[in-house]
Structure 1
Amino acid sequence: MPLAPFVRTHTAAVLAGPGDLQLHRRPRPAPGAGEVLVKIHTVGICGSDAAYYRGSAAYAVTAPFVMGHEASGIVAELGDGVTTVTPGAPVALVPSLSCGSCGQCLAGFDNLCPHTRYLGSAAVEPHRDGALQEYLVLPATHVLPLPDGTDLPTGALLEPLAVALHAVRKTPVAGRNVLIVGGGAIGQLTAVAARGLGSASIAVMDVSARRAHLAVEHGADAAFTAGELEAAVAAGSRYDVVFDASGHPAGVELALRAVTPGVGHVVLVGNLPAGSGIPHKYISQAESWVTSTLRFAGGLAPALEFLKDTGLDISWLVEQNVPFTDILDVFGPEAGAHPPLKVHIQFTEQPTP
């Protein structure tokens, strides 16, 4: 049964090209068999969304499309045969649509599926529209019901938490000294995940002293600016496990230099700009173990379970809430000296029919 059958059109934020974001009215979509229609409530803005807008993303925008993959909403309508959710149910959107039948999927690495179509991604042709629109149709298998006590803004944080949790589970962190290079949202959540999985100590470095110290306010043990970490490494400080969440070549180099020689592990989480090289001499000089991550495997349920098990609150990550009607302001001029850690786009409860 439809929750809001009177709504015939809705608004979508369409990226026509670099620097050209437009609000378009479109016919409201309808779910087919096995699908659900979701009324979007909250969408988090990711660094990849900003890169698409600036034209600096690894994948070129070749046709207008809708960004946004960190999202939550309310089930508005069910397609035929859907029995796993009910209209009105709060859900998080699972953005990664993999084939389910290739070798990677069958081995549990659905994030490495060569046929993956990610919400709000220009990595595939045609591009897959994302959640920066009032309504979105998804397979019923790709919405995660939120339990009582988990609000919709937290539901929109499950995707970046899943990225961080997947990274921290790439190598044992329990009882080990951990360094995180980059104190953006993913870096902060990597610190949260490492803390929840029993790290002995956690240090966070960011070019912004405010962000580095914010991590300490929420459970990390030490904060560094880039210059302070450079000095500490020069003086001999080393870490058992280092995560690079900066996505910057200088951050990767510092991460490789900061790991304990012989036994240290480095996990590259941030997305480096196209064409960036990795300074392999620091790997060979330390005989360090280096790996990387791509998004996350297994959907969003592990992230939701992690929050349930640890009781941790991650709502503090959201430093700015913006109405969807003002979204053009978010992608306007570059942020000042202290940009918000995470921006959430909030949709109105009653869209225009």
Structure 2
Amino acid sequence: MPLTASATTQTVAVLTGPGELQLQRRTRPIPAAGEVLVKIHTVGICGSDTAYFQGTSSYAINAPLVLGHEVSGTIAGLGDGVRGLVPGTAVALIPGLSCGQCEQCKSGFDNLCQHTRYLGSAAVTPHRDGALQEYLAIPATHVLPLPKGITLAEGALLEPMAVALHAARKTPVAGKLVLVVGGGAIGQLTAQAAQALGATSVTVTDVSERRAGTAVQHGADYALSENELKAGFAQGSYYDVVFDASGHPAGVELALLAACPGTGHVVLVGNLPASIGIPHKYVTQAESWVTSTLRFAGGLKPALEFLTENQLDISWLVEQTVPIQRILEVFEPPKTGDSPLKVHIQFTG
């Protein structure tokens, strides 16, 4: 039976358990003091959303959860006390709500705040609902107005761009030989960021020849298969900086093997499945410097500035756009080939 619309209710995509996603009607939120009401336009689907749907996330869903943290929309209403924002303004949403008072927040590491509540996340209890709903009330401090020339679809890409930029800045890449393991959306953006930050060369590897080739089409220098990389290792060809953006144990192993023994730096960006560790022997055998990243610090403004200053186009990442009514299609395995680099859910009407 189709959902009936009204002026006080809205359509919401609710995940009640692995594989159990349904559209419901809920009461439309009203912005509290200090909040704005955002009419959602575009929500990007992230690997963490897929993990929740498939039941492979490190965090169990113990209550119905609304997914979605890569978001853009327009301001539809203002709560009491909000100044400097105007209804109709196009905005991207800053998904991480940290406490602002702890040592991590005060030191510029708000992404490491122990009290962070992220949009569409089951990492906290009660869970914080995300943006797969027609309207969302959010603190006014957590919207970023989009300048002219930046579309709402591009605004929804700022969150993954911020993740990639945070990773690319984790260790110096200027003048370095860089390898990115994994050619998904984050891997593609990490490659672009490393290139813009002055890497001598950027190589991308992926089990999908199409994805690795796409990276070269958009700025990477080389696309190599795993076999080609390992043949290079036998000849002493290693990399100064390696990013794992695969989120797969085999990808992490390859990243550790690819780092130059004694001097190589490895940055783990992808999220490994629950209960999966890293092969420490490859770290100890090469005395590699290994670190990881968690989302990003400082909101979305650095990513927006990076894109505009370097005149980067990332809109090509979006290979599928689906209306909210067809959201279940997004989580179905592709009939042929690999899945799209980035899928956007759009609310229309």
Q: State how far apart, in whole Å, the 2-side matches of 1:248 and 1:234 are.
A: 23
Who is 1:295 aligned against?
Answer: 295
Who is 2:201 aligned against?
Answer: 201
Q: Give deviations 1:160-206, integer Å, cap 9, x for gaps.
A: 00000000101000111100000000000000110111111000000
Residue pair 1:42, 1:71 contacting (<8 A) in 2 also: yes
Residue pair 1:42, 1:153 contacting (<8 A) in 2 also: yes
Q: State how far apart, in whole Å, the 2-side matches of 1:192 and 1:123 are.
A: 30
Q: Does 1:149 align with 2:149?
A: yes
Q: State how far apart, in whole Å, the 2-side matches of 1:218 and 1:39 are.
A: 32
The letter for the 1-side match of 2:274 is A
Q: Return structure 1 stretches of 4+ with deviation > 6 angstroms.
A: none
The letter for the 2-side match of 1:223 is A
Q: State how far apart, in whole Å, the 2-side matches of 1:98 and 1:84 are.
A: 22
Who is 1:96 aligned against?
Answer: 96
The letter for the 2-side match of 1:105 is C
Following superposition, the deviation at residue 335 of structure 1 comes to 5.5
Who is 2:215 aligned against?
Answer: 215
Mapping of residues 280-291 of structure 1, within 5 Å:
280-291=280-291
**Between 323-332 and 188-197, the greater mean CA deviation after superposition:** 323-332
Who is 2:131 aligned against?
Answer: 131
Following superposition, the deviation at residue 235 of structure 1 comes to 2.9
Q: Does the residue aligned with 1:91 lie in a helix, a strand or coil?
A: strand
Residue pair 1:84, 1:140 contacting (<8 A) in 2 also: no
Q: Give deviations 1:47-77, integer Å, cap 9, x for gaps.
A: 1101100111110111111000001000000
Residue pair 2:333, 2:339 contacting (<8 A) in 1 also: no
Q: State how far apart, in whole Å, the 1-side matches of 2:122 and 2:17 are.
A: 11
- The RMSD of aligned alpha carbons is 1.1
The 1:99/1:212 distance shift into structure 2, 3 A limit, reads: same
Who is 2:3 aligned against?
Answer: none
Following superposition, the deviation at residue 226 of structure 1 comes to 2.2
Q: State how far apart, in whole Å, the 2-side matches of 1:216 and 1:33 are.
A: 48
The letter for the 1-side match of 2:76 is A
The 1:153/1:248 distance shift into structure 2, 3 A limit, reads: same
The letter for the 1-side match of 2:53 is Y
Who is 1:44 aligned against?
Answer: 44
Mapping of residues 1-353 of structure 1, within 5 Å:
7-333=7-333, 336-348=336-348, 350=349
Residue pair 2:36, 2:76 contacting (<8 A) in 1 also: yes
Q: Does the residue aligned with 1:65 lie in a helix, a strand or coil?
A: coil
Q: State how far apart, in whole Å, the 2-side matches of 1:146 and 1:106 are.
A: 26
Q: Does the residue aligned with 2:24 lie in a helix, a strand or coil?
A: strand
Residue pair 1:9, 1:27 contacting (<8 A) in 2 also: yes
Q: State how far apart, in whole Å, the 2-side matches of 1:198 and 1:295 are.
A: 22
Following superposition, the deviation at residue 333 of structure 1 comes to 4.2
Residue pair 2:44, 2:345 contacting (<8 A) in 1 also: yes
TM-score by length of 1: 0.96
Q: Does the residue aligned with 1:189 lie in a helix, a strand or coil?
A: helix
The letter for the 1-side match of 2:48 is S
Who is 1:3 aligned against?
Answer: none
Long gaps (5+) in structure 2? 1-5
Q: State how far apart, in whole Å, the 1-side matches of 2:227 and 2:322 are.
A: 34
Following superposition, the deviation at residue 312 of structure 1 comes to 0.6
Q: Give deviations 1:75-126, integer Å, cap 9, x for gaps.
A: 0000001013110000000000000000100111000000000000010101
Residue pair 1:105, 1:113 contacting (<8 A) in 2 also: yes
**Between 229-238 and 205-214, the greater mean CA deviation after superposition:** 229-238
Residue pair 2:182, 2:251 contacting (<8 A) in 1 also: yes
Q: State how far apart, in whole Å, the 1-side matches of 2:243 and 2:127 are.
A: 30
Following superposition, the deviation at residue 334 of structure 1 comes to 5.1
Residue pair 1:72, 1:153 contacting (<8 A) in 2 also: yes
TM-score by length of 2: 0.97
Residue pair 1:247, 1:272 contacting (<8 A) in 2 also: yes
Following superposition, the deviation at residue 140 of structure 1 comes to 0.2
The 1:262/1:94 distance shift into structure 2, 3 A limit, reads: same
